[in-house]
Amino acid sequence: MYKYDQYDQQMVDTRVAEFRDQVRRRLGGQLTEEQFRPLRLQNGLYLQLHAYMLRVAVPYGTLNSAQMTALGDIADKYDRGYGHFTTRQNIQYNWIKLEETPDILADLAAIEMHAIQTSGNCIRNISSDQFAGAAADEVVDPRPYAELLRQWSSFHPEFLVLPRKFKFAVIASETDRAAMKLHDIGIKMVKNAAGEVGAQFYVGGGMGRTPMIAPMIREFVPLDQLITYAEACLRVYNRYGRRDNKYKARIKILVHELGKEEYTRQVEEEFAHLLGQDIEPPIAELERIKTHFTDPAFEVGAPDDLDLTDPDFRLWVERNCHTHKQPGYSVATVSLKPVGGIPGDASADQIRLMAQLAKDYSLDELRVTHAQNIVFPHVRKADLYTVWKALDEAELSTANLDTVGDIIACPGLDYCSLANARSIPLAQKISQAFGSAEKQSELGELKLKISGCINACGHHHAGHIGVLGVDRKGVENYQLLLGGSEGADTSLGQITGRGFDEDGVVEAIETATQVYLSNKQGEERFLDTYRRIGMAPFKEAIYG
Amino acid sequence: MVDVQFRFRNDEAVNDPAVTVDSFGEQSNASAVRIEPGDDARKLLPFLGRLKLIEVNFPAWTDGRGYSSARVLREAGFEGELRAVGDVVIDMLSHLRRCGIDSFAPDHALNEADAKAAFDRWENVYQAAADGRDAIWRKRHG
Amino acid sequence: MKILTGNDLKSGAVVWWDGSEWSKYVNSAEDVGDNGDAIIAREEGARRVFSAYVIDGERDANGVRPAHIKERIRALGPTVRPDLTLKPGDPDAGNWVI
C-alpha cells in the first residue's frame, strides 16, 4: 500500500501546523465562529449534537495495522473508547475537544493519516472498491489512480471553495462495490480494444434530496490525461455550479440543468484548453505510485481446502468471505453489525484486535467498506478458522454480510445536528426482528439502508429496502422506500406511501418481506422480485 | 478606495479606477476592470494587452469562482496586476497566490504576522497552477 | 419558558444558561425571557460558548423539558449509548426524550 515520501509527510505536517494556528486564532478571538467554521470543516471537524466530531480520512478505504492500531489508541486517548466507521470509508470520533484537535492531527500525521478535506465544500476523501487488489474480477487495481487523484485534490488552490461538497469514487471491476454512479464523479478504470487502461467518467450522481444516477460523459480518458480531464470537470462546475441555493449546488443539478450533452461539451472545451497548460503529472508519477500497490508476498501453493465442520464457521465463510484472485487465499469481511448493535461502531479494543489480526493473518492490510464493515483482504484459507475464532471472542463474527442484518445507518438524531429522526434505534429494532440466522437465510441478499434525514448519509435511496426518517411536527416519522440498488444495476428506491412510527415501519418491513417470500420465483432476491412484480402488491399489503 | 496591503510585483502600483466587466466594452480607454463572481473572465481575453489591472472581487471568501477567473486570465497570458479585493482572508492567501493573484486589498486589513505565515506556509505543492511553482510530481521526476 | 443553550467553545460540550453561568444540566436552565439575544452576544463575544440559541421549553415535575426532541437528546446524550449520557445509571433515561 502507499507509503508517504518526504513530500507527502511534509504536506500533512504542514497541515497540522496550519490547523494548530487556526485553533490558536479561534481561541484567541482573531477568528469568529462564522469565519472558523469553514476552516475547521475542511479539517473534518464538525459540531454535532453533543460535542465536536472529527472525521478522519481513510483514503480509498485502505489501512495498515499500525494505522488501525493508532485509530484505536486515539479513541481511548482523546475520545470515549470507540470509533464509528462511515459510508464514505472514513472513521469518526464523536467526543472531540477543540483544544486537543491539533494533537490528534499530529498523532495521525505520525502514521501517515490526516483529516484533510473530510468535510467542507471541497473535494472529499476518494472512495474505492474495498476489495481492490484482491478481487478476482478487477481489470487493474483502482487505488493508484485514487492516490494520484488524492494528491491532486489535496489543497487544490482553485477548488477549495466549490459551490458544494464533491465526492469521487474510483473502481475497476464490472461489479460495482462502491456505489460509483452515486458520486459527483465516478471513475471506472477500463481497458479499450487495444488493451490500454483508461478512465471512464460518470459525472453528476448523488443521493441527498435530489437523487440522481451519474451519466457517462467520457468513455475513455487516457492515463496521461486523467488529471487534466478531472480538472476540466471541476473547473466547469466551480464556474457555473449554482451558488444561490445550497440544495441546488451539487454538480448533479448543473449536469441536469445544462443537460449531459451541454455539460460534456463545456468540459471538452475546457479540457482542450487545459491540455496546453502542462498540468498533468508524468506517467512516471503514476508508475511510482503503482510500485506501492504491487501484490503482497502471497504464499505460492497455499492450500485451497477448508474444514467446514463447525457449522457457525461454515455460515460465516459462506456469508462473509469472498473469492480472492490468489489461490489459497480468501477475502474476509468483519461485520460491524451485531444483532442489536450500532452499525459501524467499534470499541478501541475491537479496533486494535482487528489491527493485530490483520498484521498476523492479512499481510498487514485492512479495508473499510462503504457498508460500514472492515475487510481483511488477504487471508490464507488455512488461517481463516483461527481468524474467525479470534473475531468470535470479540463479538465480531456476525455472519450477515449483505443480508437484512447488515444495515447501513447514518448516526441520525442520536448524534447528528442535521438529523430529523433517530436511525440507530430503528436499525437495532430491525436487526433484532430479522437478524436470526434462519430469517436471514430465508431472506437472502437484502440491503437495508436508513437515513435520519433527507441528506441521505445512510444511502436510503440505494437500499433494496430504504428508510428515511423525517420530523412530523416534532415527532419522529419514517418513510419506507423499495427497489433501490447501488451496484452495476443502480436504481433509486420509490416511496411506498405515508410514513410510520418506529414500530409501524418495522411491521411494514415485515409485510414487505412476506410479499417477497410469497411471490419469489426460483433464486430471486428481494430486489429481483420487486422489479418483476412492481410496487403495487407491496403497497396493497402494507396499506391494505 | 481600499488600500493594497500586500503586493508581489516590482512595477509601479496601478491606481486606475476599475470599471465593471459590462461597462468595459464601451470604455475603450479603461485600463483597469473589476470581475465579480458571476462574470465570465474569458470576455476580457481580447483586451488583455491594454489592461494594467484586473481586480477579482470576493464579496464572500466562501464563493470560490474568483479562483477560476484568476487562473483563466493567467493561462491566457495576462501579465498585469491581478488583485484580490473584498472578503480576503488569511487562510486563503497562499491559494490565491497559486491562482495567479499578485496583490491583495482586503476590506479589513489583515494581521501582518499571520498573513506572512500564511504566504510562507506551503513549501511544496501538489499541483501545477498559475504561479509557476514546480509541483511535487515535477520535483520527484525532474 | 425560553431557555438558552450553546456549546462550550473549548470542549464542545452542550451547555445551558442558568442565569449566571453555563451548566451541563438542562434542569439548571433559567427562563431568559427576552434577554436571550443580549446574553448570546455577550457570551459568544467572550468566547465562552458558540453556536448559542434560544429554544422553547417548560418546567414540569421532573425539571426542565425542552420542547423539541432534538434538544432533549442534546440535554441527555445519545439514547443508544446510555453509558455516555448524563444519566448512565438510569436505564430508562432514554424514554424521557420521546
What interface predicted TM-score (ipTM) does this complex get? 0.97
Q: Say how far apart CA A343 and CA A406 lie, in whole Å.
A: 8
Q: Do chains C and B touch (3 or more CB pairs under 8 A)?
A: no
Q: Say how far apart CA A478 and CA A505 lie, in whole Å.
A: 7
Tell me which chain B residues have a C-beta less than 8 angstroms from the C-beta of A11: 124, 126, 136
Q: Say how far apart CA A434 and CA A403 lie, in whole Å.
A: 10
B→A contacts (Cβ < 8 Å), by residue, are: 37, 40, 61-65, 67-69, 71, 75, 89, 91-92, 94-96, 98-99, 111, 114, 117, 121-129, 135-137, 139-141
Q: Are A279 and A231 in contact (CB under 8 A)?
A: yes
Give me the percent of chain B exceeding a pLDDT of 90: 87
Q: Kindly report, residue by residue over A256-289, the tens digit of the pLDDT.
A: 999 999 999 999 999 999 999 999 999 999 999 9
Tell me which chain B residues have a C-beta less than 8 angstroms from the C-beta of A119: none
Residue B1 lies in a domain: no
Characterize A494-525 residue by residue with b for buried, 16 or more Cβ atoms within 10 angstroms of its Cβ, and e for exposed: bebeebbebeebbebbebbbebbeeebeeebb
Query: Given an 8 Å threshold on Cβ–Cβ distance, is A476 in contact with C69?
Result: yes
Query: Given an 8 Å threshold on Cβ–Cβ distance, is C68 in contact with A474?
Result: yes
Q: How many CB pairs under 8 A join A and C?
A: 69
Per the structure block, which three cell numbers stand in for A7?
Answer: 513530500
Q: Closest Cα partner for A53 from A123, A125, A13, A101?
A: A101
Query: Across chain A, what does the average pLDDT equal?
Result: 97
Q: What is the pLDDT of residue C91?
A: 83
Distance from CA of B35 to the nearest CA of A (A): 13
Query: Given an 8 Å threshold on Cβ–Cβ distance, is A279 in contact with B126?
Result: no
Tell me which chain A residues have a C-beta less than 8 angstroms from the C-beta of B114: 21, 25, 30
Q: Kindly report, residue by residue over A142-195, the tens digit of the pLDDT.
A: 999 999 999 999 999 999 999 999 999 999 999 999 999 999 999 999 999 999
Q: Say how far apart CA A319 and CA A313 lie, in whole Å.
A: 10
Q: Kindly report, residue by residue over B90-105, the tens digit of the pLDDT.
A: 999 999 999 999 999 9
Tell me which chain A residues have a C-beta less than 8 angstroms from the C-beta of B140: 5, 7, 285, 288
Q: Closest Cα partner for A44 from A58, A60, A55, A33?
A: A55
Q: Say how far apart CA B85 and CA A425 lie, in whole Å.
A: 50
Q: Kindly report, residue by residue over A401-426, the tens digit of the pLDDT.
A: 999 999 999 999 999 999 999 999 99
Residue C59 lies in a domain: yes
Q: Closest Cα partner for A381 from A305, A457, A491, A475?
A: A305
Written out in words, the top-level CATH class of the domain with range A6-110 is alpha beta
Output the CA–CA distances (angstroms, integers) from residue A182 to A210, A261, A380, in the order listed.
11, 19, 34
Which of B56, B58, B127, B138 is the mutation pick for testing A, counting most A CBs within 10 A? B127
Residue B73 lies in a domain: yes
Tell me which chain B residues have a C-beta less than 8 angstroms from the C-beta of A5: 140
Checking if the pLDDT of B26 tops 70, the result is: no
**Nearest beta carbon to residue B99 from set A7, A155, A157:** A157
Q: Do chains A and C touch (3 or more CB pairs under 8 A)?
A: yes
Checking if the pLDDT of A379 tops 80, the result is: yes
Residue C18 lies in a domain: yes
Hey, is the C-beta of C93 within 8 angstroms of any chain A C-beta? Answer: no
Q: Kindly report, residue by residue over A202-219, the tens digit of the pLDDT.
A: 999 999 889 999 999 999
Q: Where in chain A is the domain with CATH 3.30.413.10?
A: 134-290, 408-543
Characterize A2-36 residue by residue with b for buried, 16 or more Cβ atoms within 10 angstroms of its Cβ, and e for exposed: beeeebbebbbebbbbbbebbbebbeeeebebebb
Q: What is the pLDDT of residue A345?
A: 98
> Average pLDDT of A483-492?
90
> Average pLDDT of A290-295?
96
Q: Kindly report, residue by residue over A322-373, the tens digit of the pLDDT.
A: 999 999 999 999 999 999 999 999 999 999 999 999 999 999 999 999 999 9
Per the structure block, which three cell numbers stand in for A325?
Answer: 484472485
Distance from CA of C54 to the nearest CA of A (A): 15
Distance from CA of C11 to the nearest CA of A (A): 4
Q: What is the pLDDT of residue B1?
A: 56
Residue C98 lies in a domain: no
| Domain, as residue range, for B66 | 6-141
Give me the percent of chain A exceeding a pLDDT of 70: 100
β-strands C49-60, C2-8 pairing: antiparallel
Q: What is the pLDDT of residue B27?
A: 66
Q: How many CB atoms lie within 10 A of CB A318?
A: 12
* CATH 3.30.413.10 given to domain A408-543: yes
Query: Given an 8 Å threshold on Cβ–Cβ distance, is A99 in contact with C11?
Result: yes
Q: Say how far apart CA B133 and CA B59 lie, in whole Å.
A: 28
Q: Which residue of A has its CA nearest to B64?
A: A161
Beta strands in B45-97 (DSSP E): 53-58, 81-86
Any alpha helices (H) in A394-534, and if so which ranges? 424-434, 437-443, 502-519, 526-533
Tell me which chain A residues have a C-beta less than 8 angstroms from the C-beta of C73: 49, 413-414, 422
**Nearest beta carbon to residue B91 from set A39, A151, A159:** A39
Checking if the pLDDT of B25 tops 80, the result is: no
Q: Kindly report, residue by residue over B40-92, the tens digit of the pLDDT.
A: 999 999 999 999 999 999 999 999 999 999 999 999 999 999 999 999 999 99
Sheet with A465-472, edge to edge strand ranges: A408-409, A448-451, A465-472, A475-482, A494-495
Output the CA–CA distances (angstroms, integers) from residue A382 to A72, A358, A378, A511, in the order listed.
28, 15, 12, 42
Q: Where in chain A is the domain with CATH 3.90.480.20?
A: 6-110
Per the structure block, which three cell numbers stand in for A286?
Answer: 503514476
Q: Length of chain B in residues, anyone?
A: 142
State the DSSP code for B90. Answer: G
Tell me which chain B residues have a C-beta less than 8 angstroms from the C-beta of A279: 127-129
Q: Closest Cα partner for C5 from C60, C63, C70, C59?
A: C70
Q: What is the pLDDT of residue A516?
A: 98
For chain B, how many structural domains are there in total? 1
Q: Are A119 and A163 in contact (CB under 8 A)?
A: no
| Domain, as residue range, for C79 | 2-92
Distance from CA of A75 to the nearest CA of B (A): 29
Q: Are A464 and A509 in contact (CB under 8 A)?
A: no
Checking if the pLDDT of C75 tops 70, the result is: yes
Q: Say how far apart CA A115 and CA A128 lie, in whole Å.
A: 17
The CATH number given to A134-290 is: 3.30.413.10
Looking at the structure, give the CATH architecture of the domain made up of residues A311-393: 2-Layer Sandwich (3.30)
For chain C, how many structural domains are there in total? 1
Q: How many CB pairs under 8 A join A and B?
A: 96
Radius of gyration of chain A (CA): 23
